[in-house]
């Protein structure tokens, strides 16, 4: 293996803070540490010292810690310089490390090295970034689980199931003269079914994990005056949108990032859907429809006192029907009479029924009952799982037709698709894209 370069970056967030850290990784750490300290550092010992520049001028006082390889975050030699959290001081400290032979780290390069050193697999490395940028406590917990290898373990379990299937099929192909046709064995069929079920469950869980990371895109739609903007305000806990008793008040799309019971939502308020009299409102309605098309969930708001309008909702998007103004109709009691998850009675004005709505939003975000153990995931993972799923279905069909060779090939490709998740397969091509989205210093 060629000797890697030594990389350095400010690892803490930009801006004034109590403490800031410059992190260095690679073979040059020991020499940089010895120069700054005036003697070789003790392993994993916090040395208090004055950091000086090349002319001997004091930059800052702080702590120096050397983590000799492989016991470090990256698995390489790592050096931490912990100074005061001033962006200007930290920039000088970083400059000093560069003068002593390091080069600036690219985004995510420390974690990329941890991956290359085998300290984390790819799904875990991505979980590091998801942990840092998590927008809700639930997302933090989910990223924590993926970082601890929960997701990877489940991927491995399916890979093992696929391997066992392949072994079976290939053995059957190797010994065609056997009396029994092993390809037609009910036991093989049963195992195939079990692996497919595990994969489907994992795919669903990863989809929930992705929604946790990305946050849920929730679009509020309905007839004019139904109380859509009032609902946005009630969920946001603040008067964000204009509310009046004039139908057609909201004309533009209003987006609010809100946290509801530990989940992150993008709530989108839209113009009331109707045959609009003027062009401004028409444009608002056009935009409302565009938002609806990319919703994870639609909250269709109805005025419980008015006749149910025809709403042009897109097919294939989950819809929750909210019968608003229940304070006027006194219909909150309906909720008990019709315990139907898709219909809720509530009042944006008094707040009654909002707890039930929050609970449904949690469920939509994958945090309902039985969702303990949620782990974070990304579109890349969900896509790989979908491909593995399709390949497994093809393998099953081919086995059904006695095409063992083809089935074995599809099983191998399904395995490779799963290998992309943890980075055991095809990782090189993915690294630039994955780590390029990280922050510098991570």
The CA radius of gyration of the chain, in Å to the nearest whole number, is: 28
Give the residue closest to ligand FFO by C-beta.
71
Residue 337: CB atoms within 10 A of its CB come to 9
| DSSP result, 34-94 | HHHHSSPPPBT--EEEEEE-TTS-EEEEEEEEEE-TTSSSSSS-EEEEEEEE-HHHHHHHH
Indicate which single residue of 80, 109, 112, 303 sits in contact with ligand FFO (rule: CB under 6 A). 80
Out of 124, 146, 230, 422, name the contact with ligand GTP by CB under 6 A. Answer: 230
Q: Which of 6, 72, 146, 415 binds ligand FFO (CB under 6 A)?
A: 72
428 is in an annotated binding site: no
Q: Which does residue 224 bind out of Mg ion, ligand FFO, ligand GTP, none, counting CB within 5 to 8 angstroms by kind?
A: ligand GTP
Q: Coil, strand, or helix at residue 354? A: helix
Q: Which is nearer to ligand FFO, 73 or 435 (CB)?
A: 73
Q: Per the annotation, does 349 bind a ligand?
A: yes
Phi and psi torsions of 270, nearest 5°: -130, 165
Q: Please choose, out of 2-10, 221-229, 402-410, 411-419, the segment that lies near ligand GTP by the rule CB under 6 A.
A: 221-229
Distance CA 128, CA 115 (A): 11
353 binds ligand GTP (CB under 6 A): no
Strand, coil or helix: 337 = helix
Structure tokens at 277: 């009299």
- Residue 245 marked ligand-binding: yes
The reply, when asked if residue 272 is annotated as ligand binding, is yes
8 Å CB contact between 295 and 219? yes
| Sheet of 103-104, strands arranged across | 47-52, 58-67, 78-85, 17-25, 7-10, 103-104
Residue 283 annotated as lining a ligand binding site: no
Please report how close the Cβ of residue 87 comes to ligand GTP at its closest, in angstroms: 44
* Binds 227: which of ligand FFO, ligand GTP, Mg ion, none (CB < 5-8 Å by kind): ligand GTP
By CB under 5 A, tell whether 270 contacts Mg ion. Answer: no
Using the contact rule CB under 5 A, the part of the chain among 46-54, 141-149, 221-229, 319-327 near Mg ion is 221-229
Q: Would the annotation count 96 as a binding residue?
A: no
CB of 117 to ligand FFO, least distance (A): 10
Residue closer to ligand GTP (CB basis): 230 or 376? 230
Stretch that binds Mg ion, among 206-214, 220-228, 393-401, 422-430 (CB under 5 A): 220-228
Residue 71 as a binder of ligand GTP (CB under 6 A): the answer is: no
Nearer to ligand FFO, 70 or 318 (CB): 70
What stretch of H or E contains 103? strand 103-104
Place of tokens 């095409």: 403
Q: Report the candidate in 320, 306, 275, 312 with the shortest Cα–Cα distance to residue 292.
A: 312
CB 355 within 8 A of CB 377: no
Report if residue 141 touches ligand GTP, rule: CB under 6 A.
no
Cis peptide before 155 (omega within 30 of 0): no
Provide CB contacts within 8 A for 182, sequence distance 6+. Answer: 168, 171, 172, 175, 188
- Interacting stretch for ligand FFO, rule CB under 6 A, among 69-77, 323-331, 362-370, 384-392? 69-77
Residue 328 touching ligand GTP (CB under 6 A): yes
Whether the Cβ atoms of residue 236 and residue 267 lie closer than 8 Å to each other: yes
Confirm or reject binding of residue 229 to Mg ion (CB under 5 A): yes
Nearer to ligand GTP, 329 or 371 (CB): 329
Per CB under 6 A, the list member of 72, 74, 225, 398 interacting with ligand GTP is 225
Handedness of CA 249, 252, 255, 256 (dihedral sign): negative
Please tell me the count of residues contacting ligand GTP according to CB under 6 A: 24
> Shortest gap between Cβ of 437 and ligand FFO (angstroms)?
17
The Cβ-side half-sphere exposure at 362, using a 13 Å CA radius, reads 19
User: If residue 8 lies in a helix (H) or strand (E), which one and from where to where?
Assistant: strand 7-10
- Site residues (CB under 6 A) for ligand GTP? 222, 224-230, 243-245, 247-250, 271-272, 324-325, 327-328, 347-349
Numbered residues of the known binding site for GTP: 225-230, 244-250, 269-272, 324-327, 347-349
List contacts with Mg ion (CB under 5 A): 228-229, 249-250
Applying CB under 6 A, the residues found at the interface with ligand FFO are 21, 67, 71-73, 80
């Amino acid at each position: 293996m060629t000797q890697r370069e030594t990389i350095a970056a400010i690892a803490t967030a930009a801006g004034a803070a109590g403490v800031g850290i410059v992190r260095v990784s690679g073979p040059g750490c020991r020499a940089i540490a010895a120069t700054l300290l005036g003697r070789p550092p003790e392993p994993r010992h916090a040395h208090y010292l004055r950091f000086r520049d090349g002319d001997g001028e004091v930059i800052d006082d702080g702590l120096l810690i050397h983590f000799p390889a492989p016991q470090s975050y990256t698995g390489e030699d790592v050096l931490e310089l912990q100074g005061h959290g001033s962006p200007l001081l930290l920039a000088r400290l970083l400059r000093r490390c560069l003068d002593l032979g390091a080069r600036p780290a690219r985004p995510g390069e420390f974690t990329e090295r941890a991956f290359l050193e085998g300290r984390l697999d790819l799904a875990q490395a991505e979980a590091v970034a998801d942990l840092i940028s998590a927008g809700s406590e639930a997302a933090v917990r989910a990223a924590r689980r993926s970082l601890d290898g929960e997701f990877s373990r489940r991927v491995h379990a399916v890979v093992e199931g696929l391997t066992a299937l392949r072994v079976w099929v290939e053995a059957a192909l190797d010994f065609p003269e056997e009396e029994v046709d092993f390809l037609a064995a009910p036991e093989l069929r049963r195992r195939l079914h079990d692996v497919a079920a595990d994969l489907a469950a994992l795919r669903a869980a990863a989809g929930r994990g992705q929604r946790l990371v990305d946050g849920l895109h929730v679009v509020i739609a309905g007839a004019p005056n139904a109380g859509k903007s009032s609902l946005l305000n009630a969920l946001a806990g603040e008067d964000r949108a204009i509310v009046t008793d004039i139908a057609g008040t909201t004309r533009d799309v209003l987006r609010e990032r809100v946290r509801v019971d530990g989940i992150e939502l993008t709530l989108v308020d839209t113009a009331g859907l109707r045959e609009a009299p003027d062009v401004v409102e028409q444009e608002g309605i056009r935009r409302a429809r565009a938002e609806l098309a990319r919703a994870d969930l639609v909250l269709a708001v109805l005025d419980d006192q008015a006749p149910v309008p025809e709403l042009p909702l897109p097919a294939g998007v989950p819809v929750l029907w909210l019968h608003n103004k229940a304070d006027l109709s006194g219909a909150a009691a309906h909720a008990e009479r019709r315990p139907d998850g898709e219909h809720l009675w509530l009042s944006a004005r008094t707040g009654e029924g909002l707890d039930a709505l929050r609970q449904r939003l949690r469920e939509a975000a994958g945090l309902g009952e039985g969702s303990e153990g949620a782990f974070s995931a990304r579109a890349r993972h969900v896509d790989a799982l979908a491909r593995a799923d399709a390949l497994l279905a093809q393998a099953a069909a081919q086995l059904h037709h006695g095409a063992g060779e083809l089935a074995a090939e599809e099983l191998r490709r399904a395995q490779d698709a799963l290998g992309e998740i943890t980075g055991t397969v095809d990782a090189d091509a993915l690294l630039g894209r994955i780590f390029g989205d990280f922050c510098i210093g991570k």
